[in-house]
Structure 1
Amino acid sequence: MISVLGGGVAGLCAATALAERGLAVEVIESEEAPAPVSLLAGGMLAPFCEGEAAPAQVVQMGLSAADWWEAHGAKVHRRGTLVVAPARDAAELDRFARLTRGHEWVDPGALEPDLAGRFARGLFFRVEAHMDPCAALAALRRQLAARGVRFHAGPARGRIVDCTGWAAAAHLPDLRPVRGEMLMLRAPEVTLSRTVRLLHPRFPCYIVPRGDGQYMIGATMVESARPGPVTARAVMELLSAAWTVHPAFAEAEVTATGAGLRPAFPDNIPAIRRAGERIHVNGMYRHGFLCAPHLAEALAGELVEELAPCASN
């Protein structure tokens, strides 16, 4: 038996990959734990855009993410990512272009009519995608339950795969928390069909359509272990950035806010770590939905190889 600790994106991806290889799996979730921080994610499957700041290893891990999620029941919107900047920040757009690949220069209004006349040029990452992270995780849970995978509060049995994020800090001394904050807005007057990233020297943001006039606006990245709700500063900055993309966001309804601590290693690269008999899948930083499938498949391959001699004896 393999006990996967944690029911967030890392845990559910790991449990899925292990179960698909015929291994006996259970998912252990704390009854007292809050909703996984994964539920606050944008659900952007944008490896090339992440390459602006992320190491090449993260980009490579994320290249197959959209296919993996689609194969596992998620509704993946393959509409690409549009990156824009106000005229005063045009240098940011040139910098972003130098640091990334997989893009082409476009007229933003030709892709998103709502942006016509607002931005002179933009970068379009055609192969990127987005999805609803809550719906994607719900699909994984349904599939695991259909395979007979049990979800419960413990105790764990057999091999332990720890996917508990920041809660695993006692086992991973170099893990650090990075606070992320987001807003959900209802803006029926805005019609965007793809993720739009707004570049800004101090508070860049992204806007992810959720359908029916709903948009996720994120996300601040603060080197802090501070718990608690979204700060007033984050709300003001995110709303200001959204307004810059489209003035109609000023009349939007704020339907939800969220804040959570994302776990990160010093190099910000998600990884599989071994500490004694415990295996950790952690350090997702802001790349959980992008990198968790790759790590899950790698982990499953390792454990199948390790457990094969036991099964043959």
Structure 2
Amino acid sequence: MNIGIAGVGLVGRVLALNLLQRGHTVTLFDEDTAYGDKAAGMTAAGMLAVFAELESAESVIFDHGNRSIALWPDLLEQIGIADAYQQEGSIITAHPQDYNELEHFIETLKFKVPEASEIKLLDRAALKELEPDLDQHAKAFFIPHEGQVDAQRFMKASSNYLLSHPDVTWHEETKVAAVLDGAMTVGDEIKTFDWAFDARGLGAQGEMDDLRGVRGEVFWLDAPEVKITRPTRMLHPRYKIYIVPRPNNRYVIGATEIESEDKSPMSVRSSLELL
């Protein structure tokens, strides 16, 4: 079938790759360049943290997240970056004054899904064995099945793969005004397809009144003397702070959650609060 996709951020790329696996022809439209200079995927830490989402979500989100974790390895192998996937578990800890919140968080998870019984309590010695550079913490929990995808490598590799694929046509810097049943409005033209998918995110606000933006700010930290190998969450009263390792002792640290559609650079206030 001939498939049209409006919006080629992370979701649009995943959709396109899956459709190509099934032998379909794909036409892509996006206001951005093919390398996603403005895409949220270029900022994403790429945590596969299904338990973390349970704090404020229903168990169905947990189920979908587990299915996503199972699908990522084949997808990354398809575009030649199988090593961009890591599933060696994650760490969640807190400062001593927030230990009660940490315990409450874990109990909430155990109440919501039986799989949370696999979460392991770590004392200082056990934590040091897993992550020596976190040995200043006396209490933490290890979540065995979580991990991460290197989102920035995925964005670049998927761009290269899709641009070179014979069954893909990519219209860069092209705005889709509306997505219809099997069609899209592009400029003065209506493009028809067997199926048309809308993956524009906030770009679809004109057709979906209840869409709203949430601004998540992160920064990258070069720390040559620090070695943390797993995604690590620090429970904090204000932010869901995480530290996600990247190659060469670089770390993605985030994230603020501000209800806003502002795409300007990270504010000084947010930087200082996360630090």
Amino acid at match of 2:211: L
Amino acid at match of 1:14: L
> What does the per-residue CA deviation read over 1:55-87, in whole Å, with 9 as the maximum and x for residues that have no partner?
212111110223322112242111211000000
> What does the per-residue CA deviation read over 1:241-280, in whole Å, with 9 as the maximum and x for residues that have no partner?
xxxxxxxxxxxxxxxxxxxxxxxxxxxxxxxxxxxxxxxx
Q: Distance in 2 between matches of 1:21 and 1:46?
A: 28
Q: 2:40 aligns with which of 8, 13, 37?
A: 37
Mapped contact 2:5–2:197 kept (Cα < 8 A): yes
Question: Any residues of structure 2 matched to 1:153-164 within 5 Å, and which?
Answer: 153=172, 155=186, 156-158=191-193, 159-164=195-200
Going from structure 1 to structure 2, the CA distance change for 1:147 and 1:68 (only over 3 Å counts) comes to farther
- 1:234: which partner in 2? 270
Q: 2:169 aligns with which of 138, 143, 150?
A: 150
Question: Any residues of structure 2 matched to 1:246-257 within 5 Å, and which?
Answer: none
- 2:65: which partner in 1? 62
Q: Distance in 1 between matches of 2:42 and 2:108?
A: 29
Normalised TM-score (structure 2): 0.81
1:103 aligns with 2:113: no
| 3-state SS in 1 of match to 2:252 | strand
Q: How far apart are 1:199 and its partner, in Å? A: 0.4
Q: Distance in 2 between matches of 1:105 and 1:166?
A: 40
Mapped contact 2:86–2:148 kept (Cα < 8 A): yes
Question: Any residues of structure 2 matched to 1:275-290 within 5 Å, and which?
Answer: none
1:177 aligns with 2:186: no
Going from structure 1 to structure 2, the CA distance change for 1:141 and 1:34 (only over 3 Å counts) comes to closer
Amino acid at match of 1:106: L
Unaligned runs of 5+ in 1: 240-313
Q: Distance in 2 between matches of 1:183 and 1:59?
A: 27
| 3-state SS in 2 of match to 1:18 | helix
Q: Distance in 2 between matches of 1:7 and 1:113?
A: 40
Q: How far apart are 1:35 and its partner, in Å? A: 1.7
1:202 aligns with 2:205: no
Mapped contact 1:109–1:115 kept (Cα < 8 A): yes
| 3-state SS in 2 of match to 1:7 | coil
Mapped contact 2:44–2:151 kept (Cα < 8 A): yes
Q: Distance in 1 between matches of 2:268 and 2:11?
A: 30
Normalised TM-score (structure 1): 0.72
Q: Distance in 2 between matches of 1:36 and 1:128?
A: 24
Going from structure 1 to structure 2, the CA distance change for 1:200 and 1:31 (only over 3 Å counts) comes to closer
| 3-state SS in 1 of match to 2:128 | helix
Question: Any residues of structure 2 matched to 1:264-275 within 5 Å, and which?
Answer: none
Residue-pair matches, total: 238
> What does the per-residue CA deviation read over 1:130-175, in whole Å, with 9 as the maximum and x for residues that have no partner?
1210112333334433353121135444232111111111111111
Amino acid at match of 1:114: D
1:186 aligns with 2:222: yes
| 3-state SS in 2 of match to 1:177 | coil
- 1:223: which partner in 2? 259
1:120 aligns with 2:138: yes
Amino acid at match of 2:52: C
Bigger CA drift: 75-84 or 17-26?
Answer: 17-26
Q: 1:46 aligns with which of 49, 54, 57?
A: 49
- 2:149: which partner in 1? 131
Q: Distance in 1 between matches of 2:168 and 2:56?
A: 37
| 3-state SS in 1 of match to 2:217 | strand
Q: Distance in 2 between matches of 1:235 and 1:219?
A: 10
Percent of aligned positions that are identical: 33
Q: Distance in 2 between matches of 1:216 and 1:168?
A: 29
Mapped contact 1:49–1:125 kept (Cα < 8 A): no
Going from structure 1 to structure 2, the CA distance change for 1:39 and 1:14 (only over 3 Å counts) comes to same
Q: How far apart are 1:34 and its partner, in Å? A: 5.1
Q: How far apart are 1:51 and its partner, in Å? A: 1.2
Q: 1:80 aligns with which of 82, 89, 96?
A: 89
| 3-state SS in 2 of match to 1:160 | strand
Q: How far apart are 1:181 and its partner, in Å? A: 0.4
Amino acid at match of 1:26: T
Mapped contact 2:85–2:149 kept (Cα < 8 A): yes
Mapped contact 1:66–1:76 kept (Cα < 8 A): no
